[in-house]
Amino acid sequence: MKIWIILIFSLSISVVYGQNKQPKKLGIGFAIAENPYLYENMSHPNNIFTNSELTDKIQTDEIFPFFYKPDYGLYHFICLEKNKRYFKILINDSEIGFIPNNGNYIFKTWETILMSASVERIDKQNLIRKNLNGTDENIITNNCEYETLKVLDVIEKNGEYWLEISFAKNCEPYPNENTEQKTGWIKWRNYENLLVRIQLLC
C-alpha cells in the first residue's frame, strides 16, 4: 500500500505544475490541446499570441499550462474567455496569451474537469462537511496521510462552490466496491482562489 501512496503522490505532484502557485485567475474553464503528445519533447505551441488580433506571437520559450504532463495526455491552459476566433488563456499562472480557436484546442468547463478527478485539500481548514447546513457538528474527519477525495458532484450554492466527495475510511487510494467509504462536501474555490489540488491521474 505504501508503494501505491508514493506513486499517487508523485503523479499528482508531476501533474500540477500550475498549482505550485495560485493562478492569477480561475477563468471559465480550460483550453485543452487536442494532441498534447506533440509537446512530450518539451517543445511548446508556436501559435500563442500576446494580442486578441492574433498578430504578435509571444516571445518566450517559458510556456507552461496549468496541467502540464503531455506524456500522460495533459496540456490544459486555464481559459479566461473564448469566442469563435480565439481562446484567451493564462500562461505560467499569471501571463495572458491568445490562441486561435481553430480545432487544435477544445474547451472544457471546470465542472467537467472536476467530475473526472480526485482532489486534495490545500488547507485542512477547508473542512469536510456532512451536508451544507454549516453547523459545527457537521464536520467529518479524514486522517489519511495522503488525501485522495473522489469528486461525486459539483454545485454552486449562494455564491459558494462545493464538491461532493468520497474517500476510503482505511485510506486506500484505489478503493473497491467493498471498501467502506465516507462522503461529504468541501469548497473547491473561493472567488479566484483555488482551494484544492486536482489529481487527474488518480
Instruction: Give the per-residue pLDDT at 178.
Output: 77
Instruction: Give the per-residue pLDDT at 34.
Output: 96
Instruction: Give the per-residue pLDDT at 144.
Output: 87
Instruction: Give the per-residue pLDDT at 19.
Output: 45
Instruction: Give the per-residue pLDDT at 95.
Output: 92
Instruction: Give the per-residue pLDDT at 135.
Output: 65
How far apart are alpha carbons 177 and 118 in whole angstroms?
17
Instruction: Give the per-residue pLDDT at 134.
Output: 66
Name the pTM for this structure: 0.86
How far apart are alpha carbons 4 and 91 in whole angstroms?
32
Residue type, 43: S
Beta strands in 126-173 (DSSP E): 128-129, 139-140, 149-157, 160-168
Residues facing 167 on adjacent strands: 182
Residues lower than pLDDT 50 in the chain? 1-20
Q: Which of 114, 111, 117, 119 is nearest to 196 (CA)?
A: 119
pLDDT in tens, 5-38: 444 444 444 344 444 468 999 999 999 999 999 9
